[in-house]
Amino acid sequence: MKTSKLLFAACLTILSVTGLRAQGTAADYDKAKNFGKLVADKTLHASVRPEWIGKSNTFWYSTVTEKGTEYYLVDAAKAKKAPAFDANKLAAQLSTLSGKPAKPFELAFRNTKFSDDLKTLTFNSDGFEWTWDLKKNQLAKGKAVSMERGGPRQARNWSESADQLDNKPVVSPDSLWDAFVRDFNIWIKPHKGGSPVQYSRDGVPGFYYSSYKIYWSPDSKKLVTIKFRPAWKRMIHYVESSPLDQVQPKYSEVEYAKPGDEVPYQLPVLFLREEKKQFVTKDDLFSQQYDIDRFEWRKDNKALTFEYNQRGHQVYRVLEIDGATGIVKTLIEETSPTFINYSGYRYRFDTGDGSQIIWASERDGWNHLYLFNGKSGQLINQITKGEWMVRRVISVNEEKKQITFEASGKEAGQDPYFIHVYRVNFDGTGLKRLTEGDGNHTVIFSADESVLIDTWSRVDQPAITVLRKASDGSVILDIEKADITKLLATGWKPPIVFTAKARDGKTDIWGVIIRPVNFDPNKKYPVIENIYAGPQGSFVPKTFSTQNGMQSYAELGFVVVQIDGMGTANRSKAFHDVCWRNLGDAGFPDRILWMQAAAKQYPYMDITRVGIYGTSAGGQNSTGAVLFHPEFYKVAVSSCGCQDNRMDKMWWNEQWMGYPIGDWYEASSNVVNASKLKGKLLLIVGEMDHNVDPSSTMQVVNALIKANKDFDLLVVPGMDHSAGGTYGDHKRMDFFVRHLLGVNPPAWE
């Protein structure tokens, strides 16, 4: 032991002599914890959050400039930008009326709103509502208001089987009739009084009608309601050890369906009010339910449509109920041997009272838009196509037969995750890009969609905001261009964007590299990966920011990376399908190849010392790193991880891992594979986690103990789903400093 300490001291001396100072020092911790303060307000003209005023083509925004916070009005019709008000006069009057000093460019407004006629500006400040007359330059004090932000956080309910028996009457569109449930059956009575009539007699306590889902036809002559069979409810039980309002612990429980649990069954039933007829639909096309939803009558009263998501998410249908017979037919059907990403890419828009349906599908390997005949269900044409994907439909113009949408991957030479905005005709012709610039674009259209505000940036290029014509994307007016001169003066460096080939040797994997402010290319830095490999999205940052979270870890003496491996979303269907029944993969083969390639190009990355951290799905991923790939990952910190996909919420896990549960669930389980642990692992969990069952982490703990494995555990009393809070963050930093840098962290103060 003494010899080891002497050698370590000698190494520190050598580092000092060669000018390569020690890392993980108290000074480094100070920089890490105060990095946000170092870069605060160092980026000017960047934060533009425009708000259109009423239905006009005028908007206002505020931004931080050399003076401070300034407010502007932009008139798109006149291509004119001007200060929104006289800040000096407003501040002077605010100081007088409030009795507190107010500086012109440090006005802390909340709930700011310009009147539609641009005569007044209202805002909240210092506990009161104020009104500024824009014509007279006069301020008036209004009522007292709360300056609290938001309200108390509500616990999530991950239920799949909430009760749907609600006896509140549902009024018909003509306001003449009430439909309601009595004794588990459907009744209808005149809205203004009169004798009720029983329309069904087959409802019973275990299989009852629900007024929670009653859908009147537009002419008030028909209705469809749901006959509902509830499912067994799984409850998660909590003991809050240290409540704030009492000495003794508190017990609570929440409903929380898990993979494989029973789900409710819903049966649509059609009623004809005048004829007093009932038609119970046949469920041949929707019997294996995960869910049925989106019940919509056609305006002509002839049919009602709904959508069916089959358990396992490999079949998805748009179905139609005939309004005269109750007969159900399929309009659109999606099938997949893996999964249909209903929670991410689902989109449907019915035009011409359902004569045509715009539908999103990955049937050709990329998420694209299709046009179907809404009566026959026949495909008319594919609207968009190519090796790129539609990300979001912004609007549909039925009159012009045009669709405005966001897409990524279409522009050659650009990051395939960058979003651009396009317009296309229903028949697939006239595809037009409305945004220019090599970056990630966010747009806000005016109410009449004649103009749009386009803000775009990259992680290595600050934001640019322009006003464009929606007809062709041409620039009307330059709004703001961010200035990072002061930011760069702090020593901060933008992330390096790096790509390397995936496990298939062909596909590009994208990620970023973050270096400390005092970066020295002659040094060797351990590498820490920030991981979240949840298949519901992609997670590497694409827009400009100082990346305070990852940057704070870099300040301790690390290079921090973030990567999107195969199995995450927003690329091709094949790229995404890697996750199917395989969440334990987490894209690790691609991540490791990426870091190996990066280390060849940037030798300062020491990939013999690699750590990893993540929360939630990232908690599962980070633990999995030291179980399944300990030859590469040496240290892991896992927060609130869904460590076994059988323990986590149903909707998320069955989407990617499938139904029914098979042995592939065990193959990806960190509990089942806990005995494979090598390297160092810190587990963090909140005892009141309502997102991921805390027992998921404790079962890993149990398995590690049984396997006689050395690990660390932090249980935070009262904490919900979290990375660990300030205390957990400090513990995470210490863990990496101790085990990757090989030094004892400074003493806590």
pTM of this structure: 0.94
Question: In the structure, what pLDDT confidence band is assigned to residue 723 with cuts at 50, 70 and 90?
Answer: very high
* Residue 28: pLDDT over 60: yes
For the residues 378-383, what does the mean pLDDT come to? 98
Distances (CA, A) of 511 to 539, 591, 609: 9, 9, 19
Question: How much is the pLDDT for 150?
Answer: 56
Residue (of 547, 512, 548) closest to 527 by Cα position: 512
Phi first, then psi, for residue 67 (nearest 5°) are -80, -30
Instruction: Determine contact, residues 571/521, Cβ cutoff 8 Å.
Output: no
Q: Which of 375, 405, 371, 593 is closest to 499 using CA atoms?
A: 593
Q: Tell me the per-residue pLDDT of 637-675, one tens digit each, with 9 for 90 and over.
A: 999 999 999 999 999 999 999 999 999 999 999 999 999
The fraction of the chain above a pLDDT of 70, given in percent, is 95
Distance CA 456, CA 467 (A): 12
Q: How confident is the model at residue 149 (pLDDT cuts 50, 70, 90)?
A: low
- The Cα 31–Cα 34 span in angstroms is 5
Cα 67 to the chain's mean position, in Å? 35
pLDDT reading at 95 higher than 50: yes
Q: What is d(CA 407, CA 527) in angstroms, rounded to the nearest whole number?
A: 33
Starting from the edge strand earliest in sequence, which strands make up the sheet with 138-144, in order? 110-114, 120-125, 128-133, 138-144
For 296-346, write each residue's pLDDT tens digit.
999 999 999 999 999 999 999 999 999 999 999 999 999 999 999 999 999
Instruction: Report the share of the chain in percent with pLDDT over 90.
Output: 92
Task: Please tell me the predicted confidence (pLDDT) of residue 251.
Answer: 97
**pLDDT-derived band at 15, boundaries 50, 70, 90:** very low
Distance in angstroms (rounded) separating the CA atoms of residues 540 and 497: 10
Question: Domain 162-230+264-346's class?
Answer: mainly beta
Cβ 416 vs Cβ 499: under 8 Å = no
| pLDDT band at 749; cut points 50, 70, 90 | confident
CB 227 within 8 A of CB 213: no
Please answer whether residues 475 and 465 qualify as being in contact, where contact means their C-beta atoms are separated by less than 8 angstroms: no
Average pLDDT over residues 608-613: 98
Taking the C-alpha atoms of residue 607 and residue 179, their distance in angstroms, rounded to an integer, is 67
Common-topology check for domains 23-40+487-741 and 162-230+264-346: no
Radius of gyration of the chain (CA): 30
Q: What is the pLDDT of residues 444-454, one digit of tens each?
A: 999 999 999 99
- The domain made up of 23-40+487-741 has a fold known as Rossmann fold (3.40.50)
pLDDT tens track for 81-93? 999 999 999 999 9
Mean pLDDT to the nearest integer, 463-482: 98
Least confident of 11-25, 268-282, 312-326, 482-496: 11-25
Written as one string, the DSSP assignment of 651-718 is HHHHHHH-SS--HHHHHT-TTTTGGG--SEEEEEEETT-SSS-THHHHHHHHHHHHTT---EEEEETT
**Residues in CB range of 331: below 8 A, 6 or more apart:** 305, 317, 318, 319, 320, 357, 372, 374, 377
Which residues, in sequence order, are bridge partners of residue 83? 72
Strand extents, DSSP E, 194-353: 197-198, 208-216, 222-229, 235-240, 250-255, 265-272, 277-280, 289-297, 303-310, 315-322, 328-335, 348-351
Give the per-residue pLDDT at 167: 81
Structure tokens given for 22: 């020690």
Provide the pLDDT for residue 163. 63
Cα separation, 265 vs 289, in Å, equals 7
Model confidence band, residue 23 (pLDDT cutoffs 50, 70, 90) = confident
* Other CB atoms within 10 Å distance of the CB of residue 46: 22
Residue 147: C-alpha distances to residues 61, 123, 645 (Å): 21, 11, 42
Q: In sequence order, which residues have a C-beta less than 8 Å from that of residue 325 and are 6 or more positions away? A: 279
pLDDT of residue 12 exceeding 50:
no
Where is average pLDDT lowest: 150-159, 386-395, 474-483?
150-159
Q: What pLDDT score was predicted for residue 154?
A: 53
Buried b / exposed e along 189-198 (16+ C-beta atoms within 10 A): beeeeeeeee
Pick from 209, 218, 192: nearest CA to 278: 209
**3-state SS string over 716-743?**
ECCCCCCCCHHHHHHHHHHHHHHHHHCC
Per-residue model confidence (pLDDT) at position 47: 84
ω into residue 190 within 30 of 0, thus cis?
no
Residue owning tokens 């940057």: 551
Residue 424: count of CB within 10 angstroms of its CB: 20
What pLDDT is stored for residue 14 in this prediction? 41
Strand arrangement of the beta sheet that strand 177-182 belongs to: 170-171, 177-182, 185-190, 197-198
Contact at 8 Å (CB) between 595 and 529? yes
- When the pLDDT of each residue in the chain is averaged and rounded to a whole number, the result is 94
pLDDT digits (tens, 9 = 90+) for 234-290: 999 999 999 999 999 999 999 999 999 999 999 999 999 999 999 999 999 999 999
pLDDT score of 347 more than 90? yes
Q: What is the SS3 string spanning 279-315?
A: EECCCCCCCCEEEEEEEEECCCCCEEEEEEEECCCCE
Please state, in angstroms and as integers, the Cα–Cα distance from residue 456 to each residue in 460, 538, 542, following that order. Answer: 12, 18, 10
Beta bridge partners of 84: none
Of 312, 204, 339, give the one whose Cα is nearest residue 267.
204
pLDDT of residue 596 exceeding 90, the answer is: yes
- Domain boundaries, given as residue ranges, for the chain: 23-40+487-741, 51-144, 162-230+264-346
Across 515-673, the runs of DSSP E, i.e. the strands, are: 525-530, 559-564, 605-615, 635-639
